[in-house]
Structure 1
Amino acid sequence: MRDFELPGRSTAYAQNGMAATSHPLATLVAVDVLRAGGNAVDAAIAAVAVLGVVEPHQTGIGGDCFALYAPASGGVVALNGSGRAPAAMTIERLASLGVTTIGNRSPHSVTVPGAVAGWAALLDAYGTRTLGELLQPAIRCAEDGFPVTPRVAWDWRRHAATLEYSQGGRDYYLPGGRPPEEGRIVRLPALARTLRRIADEGPRVFYEGELAARMVASLQTAGGLHTEADFAAAAAEFVTPVHTTYRGDVVVYECPPNGQGIVALLLLNILERFDPRQMAGDGALRLHLLAEATKLAFRDRDAALADPAQAEVPTMRLLDKAYARALAERIDPERAMTELPRPLLEPHPDTIYLTVVDRDLNAISFINSLYDGFGSGLVCSETGVLFHSRGRAFRLDPAHPNAIAPGKRPMHTIIPGLAFKGGELWCSFGVIGGDYQPVGHAHLITRLVDDGLDPQAALDAPRIMAYPCDLEAEAGIGRAARAGLIARGHRVVDTKAPLGGGQVILVDRRRGVLIGGSDPRKDGLALGF
Structure 2
Amino acid sequence: MWFPALRSRSSIAAVAALCVGLPMVLPAPVLAQKAPQQAPAAAPAPAPASSGPASVRYDIGYEIFHPVRSQNGMVASEHRLATEIGLDILKRGGNAVDAAVAVGFALAVVLPNAGNVGGGGFMIVHDAAGGKDVAIDFREMAPAKAFRDMYLDAEGKVVPNRSLYTHLAVGIPGTVAGLAHALEKYGTMPLADVMAPAIRLAREGFTVTPQLAGLLEVERDQLGKWDATRAIFFKGDRPLTAGETLVNPDLANSLEMIARQGPKAFYEGEIAEKIAAEMAKHGGAITKEDLKAYKVVEREPVSGSYRGYTVKSMPPPSSGGTHIIQMLNMLERWPLKEYGPVSARSIHLMAESMKLAYADRAEYLGDPDFTKVPVKGLTSRKYADELAAKIDPETATPASSIKPGKPAPYESDQTTHYSVADSRGNVVSTTYTLNLNFGSGIVAAGTGILLNNEMDDFSAKPGVPNAFGLIGGEANAIQPFKRPLSSMSPTIVLKDGKPWLVTGSPGGSRIITTTMETVINHIDFAMNPAEAAALPRVHHQWTPDELRVEKGLSPDTIRLLEQMGHKIAVKPTMGRTQTIQLREDGLYGFSDPRNPDGMTLGY
Same fold, TM-score > 0.5, yes or no: yes
Counterpart of 2:318 in structure 1 is 259
1:460, 1:314 → 2: CA distance? 35
| Structure 1 counterpart of 2:318, one-letter code | G
Aligned residues: CA RMSD: 2.0
Give the SS at the match of 2:449.
Answer: coil
- 1:134 corresponds, among 189, 194, 203, to 194
> Greater shift after overlay, 301-310 or 328-337?
328-337
Aligned to 2:506: 432
Give the match for residue 42 of structure 1.
98
Paired residue for 1:473?
Answer: 549
Structure 2 residue 573 is the aligned partner of structure 1 residue 489? no
Is the Cα contact below 8 Å between 1:69 and 1:363 reproduced in 2? yes
* Contact 1:267 1:439 (8 Å CA) reproduced: no
Residues 164-313 of structure 1 aligned to structure 2 (within 5 Å): 164-247=224-307, 249-260=308-319, 261-277=321-337, 280-313=340-373
Q: Tell me which residue corresponds to 1:527.
A: 601
From 407, 428, 440, the counterpart of 1:376? 440
2-structure distance, mates of 1:282, 1:245: 23
Instruction: Judge which range, 39-48 or 486-495, deviates more.
Output: 486-495
Q: CA deviation at 1:267?
A: 1.5
Deviations 1:142-196 (A, max 9, x none): 1111112233233332333331332222222233332322222211121111111
Structure 1, 163-172 or 119-128: larger mean CA deviation: 163-172
Aligned to 2:505, what secondary structure does the other structure show?
A: strand
Give the TM-score taking structure 2 as reference length: 0.83
Q: Which amino acid aligns with 1:493?
A: A
Runs ≥4 residues deviating over 6 A? 1-5, 96-99
1:458 aligns with 2:532: yes
User: Does the 8 Å CA contact 1:78/1:240 hold for their aligned counterparts?
Assistant: yes
Work out whether residues 149 and 461 of structure 2, in 8 Å CA contact, stay in contact via their aligned partners in 1. no
Q: For the residues of structure 1 that align with 2:549 and 2:153, how far apart are their CA atoms?
A: 42
Aligned partners of 2:279 and 2:287 also within 8 Å: no
**Compared with structure 1, are the counterparts of its residues 505 and 331 closer, same or farther at alpha carbon in structure 2 (3 Å cutoff)?**
same
Match of 2:477 in 1: 403
Residue correspondence of structure 1 range 406-421 to structure 2 within 5 A:
406-421=480-495
Over residues 328-348 of structure 1, what are the superposed CA-to-partner deviations in whole Å (9 max), with x where a residue is unaligned?
221222222222422123579
Pairing 1:149–2:149 present: no
Instruction: Report the structure number with the largest CA radius of gyration.
Output: 2
- Bigger shift: residues 277-286 or 235-244: 277-286
For structure 2, the residue ranges without an aligned partner over 5 or more in a row are: 1-9, 32-65, 463-472
1:100 lines up with 2:158 in the alignment: yes
Structure 2 Cα separation of the partners of residues 340 and 351 of structure 1: 32
Which amino acid in the other structure matches residue 269 of structure 1?
N
CA distance in 2, matches of 1:50, 1:303: 37
- 1:451-504 CA deviation, whole Å, 9 max, x = no partner? 110011101111112234222221122222211222222222221x32010011
Identity between Structure 1 and Structure 2 (%): 34
CA contact (8 A) 2:206 2:247 kept: yes
2:381 paired residue among 321, 326, 345: 321
Deviations for 1:327-377, whole angstroms, at most 9, x for unmatched residues? 122122222222242212357911111111111121111111111111111
Between 134-143 and 344-353, report the one with greater CA deviation: 344-353
SS at match of 2:132: coil
Task: Give the AA of the match of 1:411.
Answer: L
Assess if the C-alpha contact under 8 Å between 1:147 and 1:183 holds in 2.
Answer: yes
1:419 CA displacement: 0.5
- Greater shift, 150-159 or 252-261, is seen at 150-159
- SS at structure 2 position matched to 1:91: coil
CA contact (8 A) 2:158 2:461 kept: no
1:508 to 583, 589, 592: 583
- By how many angstroms is 1:252 displaced? 0.4
- Alignment correspondent of 2:590: 517
Q: SS of the counterpart of 2:349? A: helix
Structure 1 residue corresponding to 2:406, chosen from 333, 341, 345: 345
SS at structure 2 position matched to 1:76:
strand
Q: Is the 8 A contact 2:536 2:552 kept in 1?
A: yes
3-state SS of paired residue (2:125)? strand
- The residue matched to 1:404 in structure 2 has which SS? coil
SS in 1 for 2:580: strand
Structure 1 match to 2:79: 23
For 1:433 and 1:41, the matched residues in 2 are separated by: 24
Please give the alpha-carbon distance, in whole angstroms, between the structure 1 residues aligned to 2:417 and 2:255: 21
Q: Among 142, 148, 165, which residue is 1:85 paired with? A: 142
Counterpart-to-counterpart distance in 2, 1:520 and 1:346: 38
- Mapped partners of 1:19, 1:41: distance in 2: 11
The unaligned stretches of length 5 or more in structure 1 are none
Structure 1 residue 119, shift from structure 2 partner: 0.4
Partners of 2:568 and 2:73 in 1: CA distance: 42
Q: Structure 2 residue aligned with 1:443, among 474, 494, 517?
A: 517
State the shift of 1:415 in Å: 1.7
Indicate conservation of the 8 Å contact 1:40/1:364, yes or no: yes
